[in-house]
A and B are shown apart, each in its own frame.
Chain A
Amino acid sequence: MADLAGAPRPSSSVKLVLLGEAAVGKSSLVLRFVNNDFQENKEPTIGAAFLTQKCNLPTRTIKFEIWDTAGQERFASLAPMYYRNAQAALVVYDLTKPTSLVKAKHWVAELQRQASPGIVIALVGNKLDLTNDSGDGEGTDANDSGDARKVSTEEAKTYAEEESLLFFETSAKTGYNVTEVFTAIANAIPETSLKTARGAGASAAAASRAEEQRVNLNGPRDPNAKEGCAC
């Protein structure tokens, strides 16, 4: 992939929204992806935060425009503003908290009902570091002793397959699987939607902004880009 860095690749902006119950680790996932950083006891997001990060694929560059929303109930009514015209969504739950998966399912249902038809949704179970199988990916059962895991991989995975969602278990703390989620989303977004997205789909303001930022993409590569996808 290094040899591709010099040649300009077609790049496009992708609006991505993070949804999920409060304190499941949405902001931490974003912070890990964007800054490769982690903060213990991060204070709750207020409202929503807007961040950008590039992801280099072999054939193109995806620039994520990430809306990291606050999970508290009182902000729920603002969510449509963020997922409207989004091409991708990360619905996050906490592996150690079953209710957060219930909430995640609600978000998935709402997205399927109200968001853009072609939206790519990834279901992400975070805080894998609190379970016994941290780092090894899937495997052990939910009922292991000393394991904080309360949501089994099978359960979530089965649900994700039924709803045709991407599915990952991550740890924002260790960084495990975080970049992979975003790369998978980048790969899952159809080329066609990238073209249409900037036209009719996006709001006028978003479109003009995307134009502005596209200019920058041909400039010197962002140093963070190398931690993008290795595929």
Chain B
Amino acid sequence: MAPQENNVTDIDPPPPPLPPRRKQSGEVSLASLQVAPAQSRPTTALSSIDIATLSFPDGSRGTFPTTAMRAVSSPVPSASGCATPNQAGLSSASDELTDSMSVMSFAQTLRPPGDLASLVAGEMNRKSRAWNLLRSQSTTVQPFECFDAGAPDDLAGFEYEFDNIPDATAEGANDEQRLSLWKSKMKHYMILSSAGKPIYSRHGDLSLVNSYMGIIQTIISFYEGASNPLLGFTAGNARFVIATEGPLYFVAISRLGESDAQLRGQLEALYMQILSTLTLPTLKNIFVHRPSTDLRKPLEGTESLLSSLADSFSKGSPSALLGALECLKLRKSQRNSINNTFLKMRCDKLLYGLIVAGGKLVSVIRPRKHSLHPSDLQLIFNMLFESGGIRAGGGENWVPLCLPAFNNRGYLYMYVSFFAGNPDSTSAASPAQKERSSSDSLEEQDEVAVVLISPDKESFYDLKEMRDKLAHQLGKNGSLAIVKAAANEGRPRIGAIAPDAQISHFLYKSRANVQFCMSSLEPAFSGLEKMVVRRRLMSLYHQLHASMHIKHSHLKVLHCINEGAASLAWITPVFEFYCIASPNVSREVMTQGANKIIQWAKREEERLFIIGGGVF
């Protein structure tokens, strides 16, 4: 099974001996270019059972035909050509294109036509002429448009998800109303101590939710006695996931359809935020001495950090979903020049140095023996860009924090400074910033921040000096302007990558670099009024991601269509790729588009991702 899975590209019986990989990729990529529908062939490991489990429960059309179709080994011709990738003569075509492409990226995709046809270009897409005609009229349908037309909607009311529940003191708000508001929220996060003391709740003040915390604590501790702790349960359409971390219970309650693993990851991030505030030894000490301690006091002031983290999950964070970071797209030479300037200005006290623009990483310098963990960076980015504590104050900041993945036992000290839009307009910039942060946190920020981290708490002035020199130098050699321009430009648009690809949005994760890129959310998914649509998009990505990462599923390619949208996921050892299109886009067209985007990502790899970074 294994060799088949990784190496078989040629499908016609009898299978030829395994070709060398390089050559294989050549054939493969060319094939993919010329006969696009052949892409995304599933591996032979993709059983019909796999497919069936992945169909959407909501009456979707995404359920796939099973064995009958898979038995076919001859390609099924489709409108756009032959589905078979290995046509005679293909390998003789020019090699130029293939040089820039990775061997790996295509290795998984070209599969024996029998299977491929069944998934990507098979019977499924053979529609009557009338249907095709109809489809040609409907390319303008946007993903999720059906919900505007009144399709049953499990996200109804999501636009009020982040509205505050009024205080008990507020006028015209009795407890009953407040409680029903609280219950209407689709996502809850709660943190309590194992003694049952409430620590944090995303919605509602603790007086309101205290009794619920008590119930949860009772339920959890009921199972605690057995050696089989409670991990999660379902009540109605809400999924409860529980994580126990030392003396703390973390509870996520979601009606947004995330998988347990995803919710668990989110709870883990909240735990990391608490460790980042307190460090692990402190946290343990607190509870060793007094198990009934109220942790709210030591955590005072970090509620906004927890909430902004929680809200980024509820809105749907590709970064959290993929466990990866987003970088600012820059030319390799430009990034190198920034890295080199950064390294040159480095002061002795520095541990890590980052330049960040609008939540995207521009440059990193680090000691050879330490790398930065994405979960630590997530905490830093959350502090800088999602919550207003640092940005709103203006000036420079000196923040003690623990980076748990680096070392959960002690504090590091972080110097943060934002480059003002122009040198003397700090005051003018702040109202605009405020507006922006409230409207759309990650999408429209172009502020450039320098983050310098040191283990020495007295090193503020050293780091400040380094920052001043760095700012001067980056300004002088034009890098700052380049970074700002790149940040202003925003994320790549699909129109520019693959003009005729009928794909609405994609995520591409480079697994080796633990980084991802995505297409611009504008115009369909950006802005406050599109929050619900954006959540639909992110929910679909969460579903795709969950399906692809079910244990033992060995799933490589997944194509789903439901009422709202068509989606395609594709995982290889090199990348994970997810994309969404209008529900009317056929698989051929979609895979064709996906291919183009992946080729683009390969080509642009060194611009899209930071490979290595500056090391000292």
Contacts and interface: CB of A to CB of B under 8 A. Distances in A.
Interface string A125-160: 000000000000000000000000000000000000
A35 B430 contact: yes
Interface stretch (B14-22, B350-358, B460-468, B557-565): B460-468
Interface stretch (B109-117, B200-208, B386-394, B582-590): B386-394
B436 interface: no
Given A31-B394, A51-B395, A74-B298, A43 B458 contact: no
A44 B301 contact: yes
A2 interface: no
Nearest to B397: A49
Contacts of B397: 46-50
A115 to B, nearest CB: 17
B381 to A, nearest CB: 14
Contacts of A37: 427, 430-431
Contact of B304 (A43, A47, A48, A72): A43
Interface string A201-228: 0010110110010000000001110000
Interface residues of B, number: 39
Nearest to B426: A35
B396 interface: yes
A5 interface: no
Given A46-B301, A49-B393, A49-B396, A224 B427 contact: yes
A2 B387 CA distance: 41
Contacts of B457: 78, 81
A207 to B, nearest CB: 10
B349 to A, nearest CB: 11
Interface string B363-405: 0000000000000000000010001111011111111110000
Contacts of B278: 74
Looking at chain A's contact residues, the main secondary structure is mixed
B171 interface: no
Contacts of B431: 37
Contacts of A42: 388, 392-393
Interface string B142-176: 00000000000000000000000000000000000
Interface of A: 22, 27, 30-31, 34-37, 39, 42-52, 66, 68, 70-75, 78, 81, 203, 205-206, 208-209, 212, 222-224
Which 10 residue pairs of A and B lie closest in terms of their CB atoms, listed nearest first? A51-B395, A47-B399, A205-B461, A44-B301, A35-B427, A43-B389, A50-B396, A43-B388, A72-B301, A49-B393
Interface of B: 277-278, 297-298, 300-302, 304-305, 383, 387-390, 392-401, 414, 424, 426-427, 430-431, 434, 457-458, 460-462, 464-465, 468
22 contacts: A34-B394, A34-B395, A35-B426, A36-B427, A37-B427, A43-B388, A44-B300, A44-B301, A44-B304, A45-B393, A46-B390, A47-B397, A47-B398, A49-B390, A49-B397, A51-B393, A66-B395, A72-B300, A74-B278, A74-B298, A78-B457, A81-B457
